[in-house]
Amino acid sequence: MWRRSLFAETARRERVAWWVLGVLAIIQAVLYFVGLDDGPAAGLLHNILYLMPGLLVVSAAGRASGRARTAWVLLAVALIAYGLGNLYWWLFVRALEPEPLLTPADLLFLTFYPCVAAAVMVMLRHRMPRLSATAWLDGVIAATAVASLVSVPVLAVVEPAPQSTLFGVVVNALYPIADIAVTGCLLGVWAMRGWRADRALGLLTSGMTLFAAADTVSMVLLWEGVEVPDGVDMTWILGLSLLALATRQPVVAEARRPSLWLSTAVPAVLAVGSMGLLLWAALTRAAIAPVSSLLAGTAVAAAIVRMMVSVRSAEALGAARRLARTDELTGLANRRFFVERLEQELDRPDPAPAVAYVDLDRFKEVNDSFGHDVGDTLLRLVGARMRASLGPDVLLARLGGDEFGLIMPDTGRERAAEIVAGVLATLREPFVLPEVDLHVDASVGIAVCPDDGADRSTLLRRADVAMYAAKTGHGGGPVFATGLDDHARTRLTMLEELRAGLDRGELVLHYQPKVTVDASARVTGVEALVRWQHPVRGLVYPDAFLYTAESADLMGRITTVVLDLACRQSRAWHDQGLPVSVAVNLSVSNLRDPGFPEQVGELLRRYDLPPAALELEVTESVLMTDADNALLLLGRLRDLGIRLAVDDYGTGYSSLSYLQVLPVDDLKLDRAFVSRCVVDPRSAAIVHSTVQLAHSLGMQIVAEGVEDDEVFDRLRGYGCDLAQGYGIARPQDAGSTTGWLQQREIAHRATV
C-alpha cells in the first residue's frame, strides 16, 4: 500500500514539474524574443531548461521496470550529459572570442548520441522480442534511405572555416551525422514495427529531427563565422523535452498486427527514393558525398534482398496455407477448409447449401482386423472414389477419422438426396486391397439451409444428429435433419442425467436366477441386470440408456458401479447362508483396461468373497472388438479363479479358432435359438449341436430364454447344463430375489 502511495505521489510531482518546464520554456522564448537572454538569471533559466528533461527521465526510470527501466536510464544519461555539456559551455566557453570549434563540452554533447541509440535498441527488444528477417530489412531500408536523402543537403554545405583543424571539423560534423544516424535508427525501429502508430517512437523521432535541424544550422553558421541565433537554443530545448516526454508514454509489447499496406508501401517508397538519388547523381554527375551514395546503395540492396525474402515467404505461406487446408492422408480438403467454405456459402445472398456428414460403417473392424495401414489405404480409396462421383461444385472434405463432409451449393432436399445416393452407390462397389476385397457402407446425415438452419453451427449440429440417427437406425439411406432435434436433445439430456445419476447412486440391480437343467432345478447363481432408478421416469431398462452410455465412454463407470453392487449383494447372501454366484456383464472398455483384473481382485478382497462368488460374462461382439487383448485380459481374470462365460453365443461372428483358445467356462446360448427349439427343427439342431460342442470343449452350456416347461424338458433331453428365463424366474430386485432364493432353498431341502 505504501509503495502504491509513493508511486502516486511521484507521478503527481512529475506532472507539476512538467507544467513548470512548460512555463519556464515560454518565459525563455519571450526573453529570447525581447533580447533579454544575458545575465545570471537568464543563464540559470537557460541551464535549468537543459537539465530538467534529464531529471524528469530519471524520475520516470525509477517508476519503470525491466527493459523499460534500462531504456529510460540510458536516455536519462544522454539528456543529463547534454545538459551538463551545455552548462560547461555556458560557464567556460560562451565568453571566448573567437569561440573554439572543439571544447571539453563536446565530449559531453557527443555522449548523448550513443546513449540515445542504446536506449532505442533496448526499447526495441522490449517491444519486439522476436523480429523476422523482413522486419530487420525494413529497418535497414528506412534507416539508410532516410539517412542518405537527408545527408545530401547537409553534407553539401560542409565548408569549414579556415582556422578549423581537421579534428575540429570531424568533431563538429559528427553532430548532424550522429543526429541523422540516430533518427534513421528510430525510423528503422518504426519500420520493424510495421509503421504502426506509436507515440513514444513518434516523440523520440521528432526530438531527434529537431536536433538534426538545429545541429546542421549551428554547424554551418559556426564554420562561416556567423553567430548562432538564440532561437536555435529553443530548438534544442524543445528536442530535449520531446525526448523526455516519450518516457511518459506506455511502453508495452503490442499484439496487434502491423498494417500490411504501410509495411509494404513505405519501404518501397524509400527504396525508390534511394534509387532515384543514385540515378540523379549518375545522370547529372552531381557531386554528392560518398557517405550518401553508400547509404543509398545499402537501402537499394536491402530492398532487393527484402523482395527476395518476401517472395520466398509468400511461396512458403501459400504452401503452408494449402497444407493447413488439406487432409494429409487423402489429399482432400480438411475440416478447416470445410468450415471456411461453408461460411462463404452462407455469406452469399439467399444462401441455400446442403451439408452432409458421411461416416463409414464398421470401419473400426477393418483397423482391428487388418491393421491401420490397410485402414489408411481404404480411406484413400474411399476419398478418391467419392471425389470422382461428385461434380466440381460439390466440396468433399475429410473431417477426421472415417468421417467425411459434403457441401452442396444451391441444393434442395431432392437434389441433395440424389447426390448422396450416388455416393452411397459408388461406395458399395468392392474395394480391391492387397490383403482382401472389402465392401464399404456408410451412414449419411443431411441438413439443408435454410430449413434446418441458417448459420454454420446449427447446420453442422443438425447434420451430425441426422448422421447419428442414420447410424442407429440402419435404414441404408441418408437421413435428413428435419425433425430430429428432439432426438438429439433427448439424447444429450439423458447423458447428463445419467452422469448425475451415477454420482447420486441411482443405478440398481435386478437378478435373474440360473438353475440346473434336471429334476432338482437347483439354483447355481444369478445374473445381475442393471436398471436405472430415474427420479422422474421411474425404472429405466438398459436398452434405453446403455447404447448412449457406450457412445459417451460411460460404460467403464457403469461396470464399476455394477460390480460393486453385485459383490456387496453377494456378501449379504453369503451371510444369509445363500452362497450363490453373481454374474456381471463386461463392456468393451473393461477389456481395454489393463488395470481391470486388479480392480476385480480388490473388490473380492474388500467384500471377503471367494473367486467363485463372481462370474463375468462377455458377448461375442465385445470379444471380437479387440480379440488379442481380450484373450490376455480374460486369462488374467481366469488366473484369479473367476468363472468366465461367453454371453449371447450364436449372434456374433467369432470363429471356432477363437472359441478353442478362449479361457471361458460357460457358453450362454442366445434366446433366439432356445425359445424356438420346440417348434423349429433348425433351432433345435443348433441348440443340440452347440451343447455337444460346449461339452467337447470342456465348457458348460447355459440356455437363455427358457419360457416354459416344454422348452426346459427339451433342453434336459439335449444334455444342457443350466438354464434361465421367464419360465424359471423373472429378474427381480435384491429383496424379492432374496425371498425367492430362500423359498427355493427351503423347498430343495425338503425334497432331499
Structure letter (DSSP) for residue 196 = -
CATH classification at residue 686: 3.20.20.450
Which residue matches cell numbers 468392392?
Answer: 430
At residue 550, the pLDDT reads 76
Degrees (nearest 5) of the Cα angle 108, 127, 72?
30
Encoded amino acid at 365, one letter = E
* Higher-confidence position of 8 and 207: 207
Q: Is 453 left (phi over 0), alpha (psi -120 to 50) or beta?
A: left
Degrees (nearest 5) of the Cα angle 666, 671, 677?
105
174 and 41 in a common domain? yes
412 and 511 in a common domain? no
597 and 522 in a common domain? yes
Mean pLDDT of 591-600: 88
Weakest-pLDDT range from 548-562, 704-718, 728-742: 548-562
At residue 752, the pLDDT reads 47
| Best mean pLDDT range from 121-135, 154-168, 385-399 | 385-399
In angstroms, the CA 385 to CA 366 distance is 18
The answer to whether residues 505 and 478 touch, using CB atoms and an 8 Å cutoff, is no
Q: Is 318 domain-assigned?
A: no
Q: Is 325 domain-assigned?
A: no
The answer to whether residues 587 and 550 touch, using CB atoms and an 8 Å cutoff, is yes
In angstroms, the CA 439 to CA 443 distance is 14
CATH classification at residue 356: 3.30.70.270
Q: Is 273 domain-assigned?
A: yes
Q: Which of 21, 201, 192 is nearest to 119 (CA)?
A: 201
Q: How many domains does the chain have?
A: 3
At residue 747, the pLDDT reads 56
Q: Is 643 domain-assigned?
A: yes
Which of 267, 291, 309 is the last residue in one of the domains? 309
511 and 461 in a common domain? no
The answer to whether residues 127 and 254 touch, using CB atoms and an 8 Å cutoff, is yes
Mean pLDDT of 487-498: 71
- Chain centroid offset of residue 442 CA: 30
Weakest-pLDDT range from 187-191, 231-235, 280-284, 700-704: 187-191
Structure letter (DSSP) for residue 326 = B
Weakest-pLDDT range from 122-131, 169-178, 572-581, 735-744: 122-131
At residue 547, the pLDDT reads 74
Per residue in 445-455, pLDDT (tens digit) is 888 888 888 88
State how beta strands 643-649 and 666-669 pair: parallel
The answer to whether residues 47 and 248 touch, using CB atoms and an 8 Å cutoff, is no
The answer to whether residues 179 and 78 touch, using CB atoms and an 8 Å cutoff, is no
Mean pLDDT of 705-718: 92
- Average pLDDT of the residues of the chain: 80
The answer to whether residues 396 and 404 touch, using CB atoms and an 8 Å cutoff, is yes
| Best mean pLDDT range from 15-29, 236-250, 666-680, 721-735 | 721-735
Residue 350 CB: number of other CB atoms within 10 A? Answer: 7
Whole-prediction pTM value?
A: 0.45
In angstroms, the CA 712 to CA 726 distance is 11
Say whether pLDDT at 586 is over 80. Answer: yes
721 and 661 in a common domain? yes
* E strands in 393-552: 395-400, 403-408, 431-432, 437-438, 442-448, 479-480, 507-516, 523-534, 538-540
| pLDDT range class, residue 2, cuts 50, 70, 90 | very low
Element (H, E) at 157: none
Mean pLDDT of 693-709: 90
565 and 425 in a common domain? no
68 and 114 in a common domain? yes
Print burial letters for 372-387: b (CB count within 10 Å at least 16), e (below 16).
eebbebbbbbbbebbe
In angstroms, the CA 28 to CA 519 distance is 124
Structural domain range at position 420? 335-483
In angstroms, the CA 108 to CA 143 distance is 25
Q: Is 462 domain-assigned?
A: yes
Which residue matches cell numbers 437406425?
Answer: 473
Give helix then strand counts, H and E, for the chain: 27, 17
Count Cβ atoms within 10 A of the Cβ of residue 13 and give its class: 0-12 exposed, 13-18 middle, 19 or more buried: exposed
In angstroms, the CA 614 to CA 48 distance is 96
Encoded amino acid at 121, one letter = M
In angstroms, the CA 441 to CA 421 distance is 12
Distances (CA, A) of 664 to 526, 620, 633, 683: 18, 12, 12, 24
The answer to whether residues 636 and 597 touch, using CB atoms and an 8 Å cutoff, is yes
At residue 31, the pLDDT reads 81
Q: Which of 702, 714, 707, 711 is nearest to 668 (CA)?
A: 702
Structure letter (DSSP) for residue 248 = G
Q: Is 143 domain-assigned?
A: yes
Q: Is 541 domain-assigned?
A: no
The answer to whether residues 720 and 695 touch, using CB atoms and an 8 Å cutoff, is no
384 and 437 in a common domain? yes
434 and 522 in a common domain? no
| Best mean pLDDT range from 151-155, 283-287, 359-363, 703-707 | 703-707
85 and 9 in a common domain? yes
What cell was used for 1? 500500500
Say whether pLDDT at 150 is over 70. Answer: no
Q: Is 429 domain-assigned?
A: yes
The answer to whether residues 670 and 645 touch, using CB atoms and an 8 Å cutoff, is no
298 and 364 in a common domain? no
76 and 38 in a common domain? yes
